[in-house]
Structure 1
Amino acid sequence: MKISVVTTTRCCASTIGDCLASFASQSHLDREQIVIDAASQDGTLEILQAHRDQLAVLVSESDRGIYDGLNKGIARASGEVIGFLHGDDVFAGPDTLASVAAAFSDPNVEAVYGDLVYVSREDSHRVIRHWRAGEYRRSRLRWGWAPPHPTLYARRSLYDRIGGFDLRYRIAGDYDLMLRLLMRLSGRVVYLPEVLVRMRVGGVSNQSLRHLLQKSWEDYRILRANAVGGVLALAWKNLSKLPQFVVSSRRTPSRRSR
Structure 2
Amino acid sequence: MEQNTFKPIITIITSTYNAVTDLEKTIVSIRNQSYKHIQWIIIDGNSKDGTVELIKKNKDIIEFWLSEKDTGIYDAWNKGTKHIKGDWVLFLGAGDVLYSNKVLSDISFYLIDAFPKYNLVYGKVDVVNDDDVSVADWGEPWELLKNKTESIRIALPPHPGSFLHASFFNEEKYLFPTNLKIAGDTHSLMKAVKEKSPLFLPIYIDKMLFGGVSTTGKNLLLIIKELKLINQEFNVKLPFFIYYWNLSKIYIKAWVNIIFPEKIIGSLYNIFLKVKYKFKY
Figure out how many residues of one structure are paired with residues of the other and give that number.
243
Q: 1:119·1:128 contact (CA, 8 Å) conserved in 2?
A: yes
For the residues of structure 1 that align with 2:246 and 2:36, how far apart are their CA atoms?
Answer: 37
Matching residue's letter, 2:222: Q
SS at match of 1:40: coil
Q: CA RMSD in A?
A: 2.6
Q: How far off is 1:193 after superposition?
A: 1.7
- 1:1-12 to structure 2, matched below 5 A, reads 1-12=8-19
Higher helix content, 1 or 2: 2
Do the aligned partners of residues 88 and 236 (structure 1) sit closer, same or farther apart at CA in structure 2, a change above 3 Å counting? farther
Structure 1 gaps, min length 5? 252-258
Tell whether 2:91 aligns with 1:84: yes
Q: How far off is 1:127 after superposition?
A: 1.8
Of 149, 164, 170, 1:160 maps to 170
Give me the identity figure in percent.
25
- 1:143-158 to structure 2, matched below 5 A, reads 144-158=154-168
Of 188, 195, 199, 1:184 maps to 195
Of 83, 93, 105, 1:98 maps to 105
Q: How far off is 1:179 after superposition?
A: 0.2
Q: 2:146·2:154 contact (CA, 8 Å) conserved in 1?
A: no
Q: Deviations over 1:173-221 (max 9, x none)?
A: 1101110111123xx52111232111112311112x2111111221121
Structure 2 gaps, min length 5? 1-7, 250-268
Larger Rg computed on CA atoms: 2
For the residues of structure 1 that align with 2:233 and 2:62, how far apart are their CA atoms?
Answer: 37
- 1:102-141 to structure 2, matched below 5 A, reads 102-106=109-113, 107=115, 108-120=117-129, 122-123=130-131, 125-131=132-138, 133-137=139-143, 139-140=146-147
Of 22, 35, 56, 1:49 maps to 56
Q: 1:220·1:231 contact (CA, 8 Å) conserved in 2?
A: no
For the residues of structure 2 that align with 1:224 and 1:5, how far apart are their CA atoms?
Answer: 31
* Range that drifts further, 89-98 or 221-230: 221-230
Q: How far off is 1:228 after superposition?
A: 2.1
For the residues of structure 2 that align with 1:201 and 1:26, how far apart are their CA atoms?
Answer: 23
Instruction: Provide the TM-score with structure 1 as the length reference.
Output: 0.85
Matching residue's letter, 2:227: D
Q: 1:90·1:198 contact (CA, 8 Å) conserved in 2?
A: yes
SS at match of 2:119: strand
Do the aligned partners of residues 141 and 248 (structure 1) sit closer, same or farther apart at CA in structure 2, a change above 3 Å counting? closer
Matching residue's letter, 1:155: H
For the residues of structure 2 that align with 1:7 and 1:30, how far apart are their CA atoms?
Answer: 17
Q: How far off is 1:78 after superposition?
A: 0.6
Do the aligned partners of residues 237 and 35 (structure 1) sit closer, same or farther apart at CA in structure 2, a change above 3 Å counting? farther
Of 12, 34, 47, 1:40 maps to 47
Q: How far off is 1:234 after superposition?
A: 4.8
Q: 2:24·2:95 contact (CA, 8 Å) conserved in 1?
A: no
Aligned twin of 1:256: none
SS at match of 1:247: helix
Aligned twin of 2:261: none
SS at match of 2:230: helix
Matching residue's letter, 1:217: K
For the residues of structure 2 that align with 1:73 and 1:127, how far apart are their CA atoms?
Answer: 30
Q: 1:4·1:78 contact (CA, 8 Å) conserved in 2?
A: yes
Do the aligned partners of residues 166 and 18 (structure 1) sit closer, same or farther apart at CA in structure 2, a change above 3 Å counting? same
Do the aligned partners of residues 168 and 247 (structure 1) sit closer, same or farther apart at CA in structure 2, a change above 3 Å counting? same
Query: Which runs of at least 4 in structure 1 moved beyond 6 Å after TM superposition?
Result: 236-239
For the residues of structure 2 that align with 1:97 and 1:193, how far apart are their CA atoms?
Answer: 13
